[in-house]
Structure 1
Amino acid sequence: MKKKVILFLTLQFLIVIIMLFQYKMLRLIDYINVSFIIGAIVLFIGLATYILSTGFFDIFTVSMRKVFVKSSRLEDVKSMRAPSEIVSIPYLGILQIGGATILMMFIALIFYYL
């Protein structure tokens, strides 16, 4: 939990730094724009990690290996590990941090329109 909070605060600090470099000032609309982009990138990475770890692409990967490899090296293809075995990154924390960043963006958006 402490690690997630530190990563979330680091992301918020990164958003402020990007705002200062890009827009040269701190405005709410700039925070909304930058936090949406950063949050979407983190969510995309988390979702891609989740999809890879579930084994969704394992059959596709094995099939493509069989198609593009000569028949003499077919044993090598069978001994290769599946993508779900290679990706062992815990995706839940990434999704929570990305979701929290998007949630902060929505809260800022509500304040912007009030």
Structure 2
Amino acid sequence: MKKLGIYVIVSFLVISGFVTFKEPGWTIEHFMDVSFIVGLVLLLLGLLIWVVRGGFFDIFHSSMRMLFNFGPNRRSAEEIREAGMLSELVAVKYHHLLIVGGIYIVVNILFLVIFY
């Protein structure tokens, strides 16, 4: 829970920085524009990491390793299999990205309902 708060604070500072440098005055519309984009990027990044860690691209990754295995550094099929799958290589946690991105999307939807 502590990390989630840190992610929210850091992302809010990023949004505040973009809003400050984008337009000279702070308005709710500027904040909504920037926070929607940041929330969408975090949400899509979290979903991408979730799909990769779930093993969806493992077969494609290992077949591309075998396909492009040529030249002086040619490895055996056993060495390629021992190198590991893509889902094992990606060690980034995606839960916090999904939660923070979802929070910003929900906040934007609430702002849209309230102000428009």
Do the two structures share a fold, i.e. TM-score over 0.5?
Answer: yes
Deviation at 1:109, TM superposition (A): 1.5
Gaps of 5+ in 2: none
Check 1:73–1:2 CA distance in 2 against 1; reply closer, same or farther (3 A cut). closer
The one of 93, 98, 104 equivalent to 1:95 is 98
Range with bigger deviation, 52-61 or 99-108: 99-108
Deviation at 1:98, TM superposition (A): 0.7
Which residue pairs with 1:74 in the alignment? 76
- The answer to whether the 8 A contact 2:19-2:34 is kept is yes
Q: CA RMSD in A?
A: 1.7
- Tell me which protein shows more helix as a share of its residues: 1
- The answer to whether the 8 A contact 1:43-1:95 is kept is yes
> How many angstroms apart in 1 are the aligned matches of 2:21 and 2:3?
27
Q: How does 1:44-59 map to 2 (within 5 A)?
A: 44-59=44-59
- The answer to whether the 8 A contact 1:52-1:84 is kept is yes
Deviation per residue, 1:60-109 (Å, 9 max, x gap): 01111111213952333222111100112221111001101111111121
Aligned residues: 113
Which residue pairs with 1:26 in the alignment? 26
Range with bigger deviation, 10-19 or 30-39: 10-19
SS at match of 2:5: helix
| Matched residue type, 2:76 | L
Which residue pairs with 1:8 in the alignment? 8
Deviation at 1:10, TM superposition (A): 2.4
Gaps of 5+ in 1: none
TM-score, normalised on structure 2? 0.87
Deviation per residue, 1:5-49 (Å, 9 max, x gap): 232122122212211100111111111110111001111111111
